[in-house]
Amino acid sequence: MTSKILIIYTGGTIGMAPSDAGYKPQSHFADLVKTSLNSTAYKTLAPFDMIELDTLIDSANIQLHHWTDLAKLISDHYDDYAGFVILHGTDTMAYTASALSFMLNGLDKPVILTGSQIPLIQPRSDATNNLLNAVAFAREPRIHEVCVLFDNQLLRGNRATKVHTSALRAFDSPSCKPIGHAGIDIEYRANTALPAKPKDFIIPTLTPSVSQLVLYPGISNAVIDAALLDPTVKGVVMSSFGAGNPPDSNEHLIASLATASARGVIIVNITLCHAGEVIQGAYATGETLNALGIIAGADMTAEAAFTKLTVLLSSGMSQEAIRSQLTQSICGELSNA
């Protein structure tokens, strides 16, 4: 059985260098790794291959087709490697990790995303530690899911979210404890492992049919209508207050939710809170959403809810099947489903 890892370099801070326009992703990352790491550290990466995307991405520019491309790249090379490491910018890493988790359903080997807050070429960079730890976890045969490795923490990819713009501990998993830790030893918490299931990769061409509606006091009718009533919108992730409560005194919001739901738009309700879950009906304001057929997103992150709905809507499933899947945990994205 091979122990070779495939490292996929997409861009991001980890490989950036200064330019006249600020930091930009640089090509030939494999050479940079070889010259930046000491010989002992470099040897721990082996055996590995590296693929560098033809067009490197600042992750703020990530598009839906990039997720499809990455999923296909892993699928095409799946049988050749023990695991995969994706080097990615931090801004949208949690989105990419979540999207890949839903497209690469039924993994039996690790896919680990990592990056850095400080470029590899800079003093005090966190890149070396993150890269070495990601590769170590990518060789852990008990891991069969998509993860984010950052600052010694291994997080379930579809439970991770970026929580700090500049701290080295940039990611957290508010409703799911870390599933591994890199200290003196590389520790995988096997009791957190997802149940094994058959490989069932779903890699559709993703279509931009999901909008996000973030509620706030005094939200305007125009903002509501743009998210809910655009005819190209097939799904909406609504972020509401507390345990899933909308302002039910806002007649325009409730009417627009009803109109969108009646024309078949699938609406998932998540909380604006950092942790906890949506319990529609705990308050009368939330019960209004139950009556409209809006799905309680429980403790899904915004990234997981958006990417799950996007993948499902792009997969050709029936509305009934999609609604059912949204209330079930496909790959660990929900705590109690």
Give the residue ranges of the annotated binding site for substrate.
59, 90-91
Cis peptide before 47 (omega within 30 of 0): yes
CA 206/CA 315 separation, integer angstroms? 8
Q: How many CA atoms lie within 13 A of 307 on its CB side?
A: 34
- Report whether 81 contacts 2 (CB < 8 A): yes
> Is 90 annotated as catalytic?
yes
Q: What is the end-to-end Cα distance of the chain in Å, rounded?
A: 35
- Report whether 142 contacts 193 (CB < 8 A): yes
Q: Which residues are annotated as a binding site?
A: 59, 90-91
Which of 255, 212, 253, 216 lies closest to 233 in space, CA to CA?
Answer: 212
In 104-248, where does DSSP find H-type helix? 127-138, 221-228
Positive or negative torsion for Cα 18, 24, 25, 26: negative
Cα angle: 159, vertex 246, 163; to 5 degrees: 30
Cα dist. 206→57, 201, 261, 322 in Å?
Answer: 18, 14, 22, 15
Chain position carrying tokens 């149940």 = 195
> Is 13 annotated as catalytic?
yes
Which of 60, 34, 36 lies closest to 48 in space, CA to CA?
Answer: 34
Catalytic: which of 13, 285, 288, 301? 13
Catalytic: which of 10, 68, 90, 307? 90
Give me the DSSP letters along 55-103.
EEE-GGG--HHHHHHHHHHHHHTGGG-SEEEEE--STTHHHHHHHHHHH
- 3-class DSSP assignment, residue 171: strand
The bridge status of strand 295-296 relative to strand 266-271 is parallel
CA 20/CA 24 separation, integer angstroms? 9
Catalytic site positions = 13, 90
